[in-house]
Every structure is written in structure tokens, then in C-alpha cells.
Amino acid sequence: MVTVLGQGVQGFSVGDEILGPVAPGHGGFAEHSVVRAEAVVSKSEEISFADDATIPVAGSTAYDGKHQIELEAGQTLLILGIGVVGLMAAQIGKVHTFTVIGTGSESKRHVVESIGAAIPCGENLAARIRQVVPVGVDLILDLVGGQGTARRRRRHRVRPGRPPRERPVPPPVLR
């Protein structure tokens, strides 16, 4: 919250709730800190400070993950583990007119489908994903990660000259 305005600052008033980085050379672990007016934004009235503060981090993570490979309109983005970052990645994908598929719990289905993304849930996930995109996907954004994901990928690697085995998710198809 703004407690004091610096000389010449316009667009903000004492009492405004704001979000932004601490000004270079000033600490942030304190009751009060210094920020640069051009680096802050007004906090949403509808969202708590804690939730509002996650948006830039989640948004930039989603943006960076989606831009690891430049997709074209109509290509398919598979998001493993729809949560805050995944939902933002799905929204970015829809803006770019990608086909967006996300995996996640049944409890998140209504949120993901509300932005027009498919979310296959339940048993035999690989088969459900293949029903949605039988030719494979163009980019997998793995937000689950960890050692388990690496082990699954090694275990389900396709060997040249052999037919693919059942996989937890289809392999990426880079076109």
C-alpha cells in the first residue's frame, strides 16, 4: 500500500494498493520499502495480495514454457498438470489459436473447459489424449516434472524399428 509519494509521482495516491518489484538498492523484507512508480501496477480489488502477487510469476513461467518452441496457429499444445501456470499457458495458447489439451484433476475440468481447452481425465490417460489428438502433439509443457516424469520417459522411449508401446502421454510430434 502506498504510504508516501515521491516528488513528481503521478497516477497513484496514498492508500492505493499496488504490486511491483522493490527499487534497485532497496530491501524488500520490511514493513515499508521503496518502489519505482513506473514499475508498479494497481492491485486488483477482487483478488487478495497473495493471489495477485502470483500472477506475474505464473504468467511469465507459462509464457516462457510455451515459447520454448514456436507453434503456429492450429498446432497442438499439451499441458501436463493444469494449475495456475497451466491455466495461463492454456489461455496464451487459445489466444494464439492453438489446440490446447491439459491434464489435471477432475476438479479443474470446469475451469479449463471454460477457456475452450480439452482436459482428458481418468483411467488410461494416454488413450484419452489420443482420442483428442490421434496424430500426436506439437509441444508438451510439463508442469509436473520431477524424477518420476524422467523415469517414465525413459521407460516408454520408442526404439527405432520397433512399434511404440503404450505410453502415459503421446510423444511430441515436431512438425
Answer yes or no: is pLDDT of 154 > 70: no
- How far is the C-alpha of 163 from the C-alpha of 175, rounded, in Å? 20
Torsion of CA 160, 164, 168, 174, to 10 degrees: 60
Least confidently predicted of 3-17, 49-63, 81-95, 134-148: 134-148
The residue among 148 and 45 whose pLDDT is bigger is 45
Q: What is the pLDDT of residues 43-75, one digit of tens each?
A: 888 888 888 878 878 888 888 887 777 888 989
- Report CA-CA distances (Å) from 64 to 59, 92, 118, 144: 9, 11, 22, 16
Cross-sheet strand order for the sheet of 99-103: 99-103, 76-80, 139-142
Question: 136-163 in b/e burial notation, b at 16+ Cβ within 10 A?
Answer: bbbbbbbbeeeeeeeeeeeeeeeeeeee
Looking at the DSSP bridge assignments, the partners of residue 35 are 22
- Mean pLDDT of all residues in 80-97: 86
Tell me which amino acid residue 15 is: G
Q: What is the pLDDT of residues 89-127, one digit of tens each?
A: 888 888 889 888 888 777 877 877 877 777 766 778 788
Q: Given CA atoms 70, 75, 81, 83 in this order, what sign does their dihedral have?
A: positive
Tell me which amino acid residue 14 is: V
Residue 37: the pLDDT is: 93
Residue-range domains of the chain with CATH: 1-43 (no CATH), 56-155 (3.40.50.720)
Percent above pLDDT 70 for the chain: 81
- How far is the C-alpha of 162 from the C-alpha of 59, rounded, in Å? 40
Least confidently predicted of 67-76, 107-116, 133-142, 163-172: 163-172
